[in-house]
Chains A and B, each alone.
Chain A
């Protein structure tokens, strides 16, 4: 029996965004539809709307990030919020302050929303359980657990290029073991009704329980990529690896790096995605990353509209 979903209110409205797991399909579609409307805002002369005017959004990053933190900052500013960026690893935490004390102090500064990135799985959940009811929490990546806004922007990108989720064959490739992105992607894809989700990688980088999530497991790129519509690459997270999971980056590239030759096995109109930052020549070849099937940079742009949608939906649900 699952505990009540802490990110939903008693009326089933999204109050925090902590994980894709257990999120109703309607909620995911509402976020994607709202993001579509924000895309048209970002194409205007004045790219701001007044929804979060007078609100303070704290970007609370305990782990380094460029893309995610910047797109959250742009999203909050386009909603007219005030944004405060905190690189916490460098200050309070090193002086011994606990996570909840840091949050309590920032709440005393009248924070309305926390965007949290933390190396510890469950950090955003912990904060969401302890903040006052009028404060909203968005998980911007916690440990190996979840990165829900990345998965949502990936879903937005897929829908943008493929229109429908039903009938798609989607492959997630590489270091699934260390990837919060992969976990969130799998939950999102299955919730949205993608009939065939594949994961491809070496045995050492695929968690043993992954097949229980309803995905097909492949250890060979050419078999796994056969006829797929969407190729979702993952970053090889060498900084999270301990012990000998891999012989070498060169060996990994030879077997699991995406190059034009392997991509040719997928459908000719397949799109290639990557959450960034890319390791060129490790998990993806430059000819593919910069090629005609790559939608890696549109993913970044769509990330702004998707984060605007998430922030404006949670902030409106007390």
Chain B
């Protein structure tokens, strides 16, 4: 199957326009490592949010630790604002099974009790395995099960998407 890959910068612009009227300046934004952080950095700047950007690495909350072990590259999570009672937007690059988002929500609640949590994703490729739905999406994309949608960032900061065959397909 040949998939037409959308332009990440156009999706980002569409996402910003969607979010602008719905995301007040005092919203706490948290990007999920690694691609989600890149998207969140751009959204955070474009929306002029006042609280510093948070980042989450969900490695300590993943549900496949028992079968795959700990990720060899865990980055520290950093949420530099009080989450209790705050309006939060989680940001990921590609939304797929929903398992990463489940892990991120669990981790978030170990920082406090947020007032509301919403989800923004640059791309929704479907295939959900959990009851998780995004509030803001740049675009939906149909790709085969054996394929991965990968976000890359160039040295000048530009984002781009590609569709790649999954290594060890079927996982």
Residues of A within 8 A of B (CB): 13, 30, 33-34, 36-37, 39-41, 44-46, 48-51, 312-313, 316-318
Give bound CA distance, A77 to B77, whole Å. 20
B75 at the interface (CB under 8 A from A): yes
B106 at the interface (CB under 8 A from A): yes
Residues of B within 8 A of A (CB): 57, 59-61, 65-66, 68-70, 72-78, 106-107, 109-112
Give bound CA distance, A51 to B76, whole Å. 16
In the complex, what's the smallest C-beta–C-beta distance from B32 to chain A, in angstroms? 14
Structural contact, A34 and B74, CB atoms closer than 8 A = yes
Structural contact, A37 and B77, CB atoms closer than 8 A = yes
Give bound CA distance, A189 to B66, whole Å. 32
Contact of A40 among B61, B66, B73, B78 (CB under 8 A): B78
Give bound CA distance, A41 to B60, whole Å. 10
- Beyond A44-B110, A44-B111, A48-B110, whether A37 also contacts B57 by CB under 8 A is yes
Structural contact, A39 and B76, CB atoms closer than 8 A = yes
Contact partners of B70 in chain A: CB under 8 A: 34, 51, 312-313, 316
A33-B74, A37-B77, A46-B110 are known; give 18 further A-B pairs, CB within 8 A. Answer: A34-B74, A37-B60, A39-B76, A40-B77, A44-B111, A45-B112, A49-B107, A49-B110, A50-B60, A50-B61, A50-B106, A51-B60, A313-B69, A316-B66, A316-B68, A316-B69, A316-B70, A317-B69
Contact partners of B111 in chain A: CB under 8 A: 44-46
Contact partners of A313 in chain B: CB under 8 A: 69-70
Query: 10 closest A-B pairs (Cβ-Cβ)?
Result: A316-B69, A46-B110, A49-B60, A40-B76, A316-B70, A37-B76, A37-B74, A317-B69, A312-B70, A34-B74
Contact partners of B76 in chain A: CB under 8 A: 36-37, 39-40
In the complex, what's the smallest C-beta–C-beta distance from B71 to chain A, in angstroms? 9
Give bound CA distance, A50 to B105, whole Å. 13
In the complex, what's the smallest C-beta–C-beta distance from A125 to chain B, in angstroms? 22
